[in-house]
């Protein structure tokens, strides 16, 4: 009984703890990165939803074994319908998160050979897990577990290899970069740390599940470990996304000039809606370096707010600035409008 229901119960405890962290990370992501691309937000939502369904499926499995069919010796000789569901949902979440990380690696490096190799590992792992789920549905008896050996080994080995490969590839690229500012260096260091931690975590769980299966093919030790895979994958994706400081990359430039006893002035470069006011004593130039982490750049015009105080009276002037592409589009729009007006 310990190898059948005990490991499943412990697996739900561990999964619940991981899901709590996952829920916190998901709430943080939705609150702080509302401007992310809709495709990325859809991917996060779908992965989180599937993993939530998988966790509820785990609870159902334990309830059926320990409450509904307790004492039913015949029921304990077979794997119920929740086992194939857990395999398929875990495979879907793993493939989604791994594809996200590989896509991110390709956008960062444009190395096609390594990207294709990692994609092949993801495809093989998904195929192996899907085959396992299908075979469990066709052969639910615990005594038939030996039939899953080849697809199970293929699934978990390629899963671990893909996770370690993605982590190693991203880590290598991050460490090769030589940022020109301390802030960018800190971002790269955080990315490298998160990538290493999440990649090794999912790979370790996959290897533990494989070892548990090989040690006891007719027990559920492997499932107790594998139940944590889905939560760990979603956590790895959210951790990589939440390592950013904000949902968009912004560049600010603050200029300051000397002050006198009769006159003071301030010049502030700010984004629309932002209000800044500083005393002027010296010139500052802040440069923002970016690392491609699925962020967005703000292409809308900004405001230059010039404030001056002369003999106690404050004068404010707002000047709108933006990229050249925005200015050209505005000029073309104005010229087209004037042409149409003259034509009438």
164-187, pLDDT tens digit by residue?
999 999 888 887 776 666 777 777
Query: How confident is the model at residue 48, as a pLDDT?
Result: 97
**259 pLDDT above the threshold of 50:** no
3-state class of 304 per DSSP? strand
Residue 257 has pLDDT above 80, yes or no: no
Summarised one tens digit per residue, pLDDT across range 19-61 is 999 999 999 999 999 999 999 999 999 999 999 999 999 999 9
DSSP label at residue 237? H
Read off the pLDDT of each residue in 291-300 and give the average, rounded to a whole number: 46
pTM (predicted TM-score):
0.69
Distance CA 179, CA 173 (A): 12
Instruction: Report the percentage of the chain scoring pLDDT > 90.
Output: 46
Residue 312 region by backbone torsions, left for phi larger than 0, else alpha for psi between -120 and 50, else beta: left
Q: Each residue of 113-166: pLDDT tens digit?
A: 999 999 999 999 999 999 999 999 999 998 888 898 999 999 999 999 999 999
Q: What is the mean pLDDT of the chain?
A: 77
Q: How far is CA 75 from CA 72, 87, 190, 198, 221, in A?
A: 5, 20, 49, 37, 18
The residues, ordered by sequence, that sit 6+ positions from 285 with a Cβ below 8 Å of its Cβ are 253
Q: How confident is the model at residue 220 (pLDDT cuts 50, 70, 90)?
A: confident
pLDDT at 277: 37
Helix (H), strand (E) at residue 63: helix 38-63
Range of weakest confidence among 181-185, 232-236, 241-245, 250-254:
250-254
Q: What is residue 344's predicted lDDT score, i.e. its pLDDT?
A: 52
Name beta bridge partners: 254.
Answer: 268
Q: What is the pLDDT of residue 195?
A: 83
In this prediction, residue 306 carries a pLDDT of 52
**Structural domains of the chain ordered from first start:** 2-245 (1.20.1070), 254-343 (no CATH)
């Amino acid at each position: 009984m310990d190898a059948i229901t005990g490991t499943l119960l412990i697996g739900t405890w561990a999964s619940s703890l991981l899901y709590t962290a996952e829920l916190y990370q998901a709430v943080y992501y939705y609150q702080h990165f509302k401007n992310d691309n809709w495709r990325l937000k859809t991917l996060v939502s779908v992965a989180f939803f599937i993993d939530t369904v998988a966790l509820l499926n785990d609870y159902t499995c334990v309830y059926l074994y320990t409450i509904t069919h307790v004492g039913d010796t015949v029921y304990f000789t077979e794997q119920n319908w929740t086992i194939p569901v857990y395999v398929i949902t875990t495979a879907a979440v793993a493939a989604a998160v791994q594809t996200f990380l590989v896509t991110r690696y390709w956008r960062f490096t444009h190395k096609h050979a390594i990207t294709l190799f990692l994609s092949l590992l993801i495809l093989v792992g998904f195929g192996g897990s899907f085959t396992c789920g299908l075979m469990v549905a066709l052969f639910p008896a615990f005594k038939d577990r030996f039939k899953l050996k080849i697809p199970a080994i293929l699934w978990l080995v390629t899963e671990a290899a893909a996770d370690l490969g993605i982590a190693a590839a991203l880590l290598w690229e991050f460490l090769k970069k030589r940022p020109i500012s301390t802030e960018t260096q800190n971002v790269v260091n955080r990315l490298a740390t998160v990538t290493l931690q999440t990649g090794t975590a999912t790979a370790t769980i996959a290897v533990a599940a494989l070892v548990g299966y090989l040690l006891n093919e007719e027990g559920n030790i492997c499932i107790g470990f594998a139940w944590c895979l889905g939560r760990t994958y979603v956590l790895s994706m959210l951790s990589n996304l939440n390592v950013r400081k904000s949902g968009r990359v912004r560049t600010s430039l603050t200029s300051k000039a000397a002050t006198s006893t009769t006159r003071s002035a301030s010049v502030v470069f700010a984004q629309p809606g932002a209000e800044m006011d500083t005393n002027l004593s010296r010139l500052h130039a802040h440069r923002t370096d970016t690392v491609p982490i699925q962020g967005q750049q703000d292409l809308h015009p900004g405001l230059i707010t010039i404030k001056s105080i002369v003999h106690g009276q404050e004068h404010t002037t707002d000047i709108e600035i933006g990229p050249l592409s925005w200015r050209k589009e505005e000029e073309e729009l104005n010229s087209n409008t004037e042409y149409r007006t003259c034509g009438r």
